[in-house]
Homo-oligomer: A and B are copies of this chain.
C-alpha cells in the first residue's frame, strides 16, 4: 500500500505515531502537490519542490509517504473522495439516459484540463508501480464500475436488457473505449463519442 490512508488501521506497518501528525503540514503538502503537478507535470514534480512549495521539511514528507507517487495518490484521493460514498447511479427508469449521464460525466472529467495532468500522472505511475494500481482500482475504479454494473442489472430486471448479458462485461464495453482514447490519445473525447458508444453497446444489450 503506497500510503497511510486515513481509515486504515495504524497497525500494519509500524510507522510513526499518526496521532502526532500535523494536519496543517499534511494539507499543505497535498495541496502543493496538486498545484505543482498541474503546473509542471508529473515528470518535473519533485519532493523537494513539494516541500518548498508547502513550506515543509523534506523529512516530513518522507515520514508519512513512501514515494512521490504515494503523495500524488493521496492528493488525488482528497479531491475525489466525495465520490467514495456516493457511487450509486441515478435510477430514473430510463437506462440509456442514466448511463449517458455517467459516460458524459466521465468524458468531461478526463477532458477537463485542470485534472488531466493529475490523472495522467497516476495513469503513468500505474504502469510502473503495481501497488498504486491496486489501490486506485480498489478505491476509485472498481466502485465506479460496480455502481454502473448495478444499474445495468436493474435494467435486466426491468426487462430493458437481455437477461443473458454479463453486466460487468457490458460496463467494460462502455468505459473501455473512452479510456482507450484518453490513455493512448487515439482520438478526441466529447459527448458525441460517449453517446455513440452508448448507442452501439445498448444495441447489443437489448433483449432478443
Tell me whether B173 and A141 are in contact (CB under 8 A). Answer: no
A76 within 8 A of B: no
Determine how close the nearest CB of chain B comes to the CB of A66; give it in whole angstroms.
14
> Is the beta-carbon distance between A180 and B184 smaller than 8 angstroms?
no
Q: How far apart sit A121 and B185, CA to CA, in the bound complex (Å)?
A: 15
Mostly helix, strand, loop or mixed at chain A's interface? helix
Whether A184 touches B128, Cβ cut-off 8 Å, given contacts A173-B173, A176-B177, A200-B165, is no
State in angstroms the CA–CA spacing of A130 and B172 once bound together: 26
What are 23 of the A-B contact pairs (CB < 8 Å)?
Answer: A41-B128, A42-B128, A120-B127, A120-B128, A123-B184, A126-B183, A126-B185, A136-B184, A137-B184, A141-B184, A166-B196, A166-B200, A169-B200, A172-B181, A175-B176, A176-B179, A176-B181, A179-B183, A179-B184, A180-B180, A183-B183, A200-B204, A203-B203
Residues of B with C-beta under 8 A to A180: 172, 175-176, 179-180
- CB neighbours (8 Å) of A169 from chain B are 177, 196-197, 200
Q: Report how many residues on chain A are interfacial, defined by Cβ distance under 8 Å.
A: 45
Q: Which residue of B lies closest to A44 (CB)?
A: B128
Give every chain B residue within 8 A of A183 (Cβ-Cβ). Answer: 123, 126-127, 179, 183-184
Question: A175 to chain B: which residues have CB within 8 Å?
Answer: 176-177, 180
